[in-house]
Structure 1
Amino acid sequence: MLDNKGFDLWADGYDKAVGLSDEEKSYPFAGYKEVLGRIYQLVMVKGRAKVLDIGFGTGTLTAKLYEGGCEIWGQDFSERMIELAKAKMPGARLFQGDFSRGLAGPILSERYDFIIATYSLHHLTDSEKISFINTLTGLLKEGGAILIGDVAFESRQELEQCRQQVGEGWDEDEIYFVYEETLEAFPAMEFEKFSYCAGLLSLQG
Structure 2
Amino acid sequence: MWLVGSRLALFPLHREEIQLRIRVMEEIVRRAKGKILDVGSGSGLLALALSEKGTVIGIEKAPDFFPFLRRLENEQLKFIQGDFLRGDVGGSFDVVVFSYILHDLEPEPFLRRAAEVLSPGGKVIIGGL
Deviations 1:76-119 (CA, angstroms, capped at 9, x unpaired): 122232322221223433222344xx2422x1x51101100111
**Larger of the two Rg values belongs to structure:** 1
When residues 63 and 80 of structure 1 are mapped into structure 2, their CA distance, relative to the original with a 3 A threshold, is same
Q: Corresponding residue for 1:32?
A: 21
Contact kept in structure 2, 1:75 and 1:103, CA below 8 Å: no
**Is 1:74 aligned to residue 74 of structure 2?**
no
Match of 1:96 among 81, 90, 95: 81
Match of 1:86 among 40, 62, 70: 70
Counterpart Cα distance in 1 of 2:86 and 2:104: 15
Percentage of pairs with the same residue: 22
Match of 2:105 among 110, 115, 124: 124
SS at match of 2:16: coil
Q: Which has the higher contact order (CA 8 A, sep 6+)?
A: 2
Counterpart Cα distance in 2 of 1:87 and 1:58: 11
When residues 69 and 132 of structure 1 are mapped into structure 2, their CA distance, relative to the original with a 3 A threshold, is closer
Gaps of 5+ in 2: none
Number of equivalenced pairs: 127
Contact kept in structure 2, 1:95 and 1:104, CA below 8 Å: no
Gaps of 5+ in 1: 1-9, 152-205
Following TM superposition, by how much is the alpha carbon of 1:50 offset from its aligned partner in structure 2, in angstroms? Answer: 0.6
Root-mean-square deviation (CA, aligned residues, Å) is 2.4
When residues 130 and 85 of structure 1 are mapped into structure 2, their CA distance, relative to the original with a 3 A threshold, is same
SS at match of 1:58: coil
TM-score using structure 2 length = 0.82
Question: Which aligned runs of 4 or more in structure 1 are off by greater than 4 angstroms?
Answer: 18-23
Counterpart Cα distance in 2 of 1:19 and 1:38: 21
Counterpart Cα distance in 1 of 2:45 and 2:114: 22
